[in-house]
Amino acid sequence: MYNGTGLQTPRGSGTTGHVQSNRFSVRPPANNSGADPTKGLVTAGKPNKEILEHDRKRQIQLKLLVLEEKLIDQGYSDAEIAAKLDEAKEHEDSASNALLISGKY
């Protein structure tokens, strides 16, 4: 037995009683210094404009896809669907551009 670990006696256990250390056990580092524990953490900065623009375009595409499925279910022809989708896309683009200009997005 080593530091209270292992068998009292290896007799009858089918082992030699040899104790090995667990080298894959990762312990958190001791934070004994009086330093600020939040120091070094990355804080969220300003969102990337390209990512926001991409997300806005994805939302528009999703709305157009839902509209297209509704129009197909209602029995519109392909030409009517294309015309309505173009009209809706222009409306969504102008509405989202107005939000971007006003700074609310």
- Sequence ranges of the domains in the chain: 49-102
**C-alpha–C-alpha distance, residues 96 and 104, integer Å:** 10
User: Would the pLDDT of 1 be above 60?
Assistant: no
pLDDT tens sequence across 35-67 = 666 666 667 788 888 998 899 899 999 999 999
Main-chain dihedrals φ then ψ at residue 2, nearest 5 degrees: -130, 115
Identity of the amino acid at 93: D
**What's the whole-number mean pLDDT along residues 80-105?**
82
Enter the pTM of the model: 0.52
Q: How far is CA 19 from CA 1, 10, 23, 31, in A?
A: 8, 11, 12, 29
- Percent of the chain, pLDDT > 70? 73
Question: What does the pLDDT average to over 12-36?
Answer: 74
Cα-only R_g, the chain: 32
Cβ contacts of 7 within 8 Å, gap of 6 or more: 1, 13, 15, 17
**pLDDT (mean) for 17-44:** 72
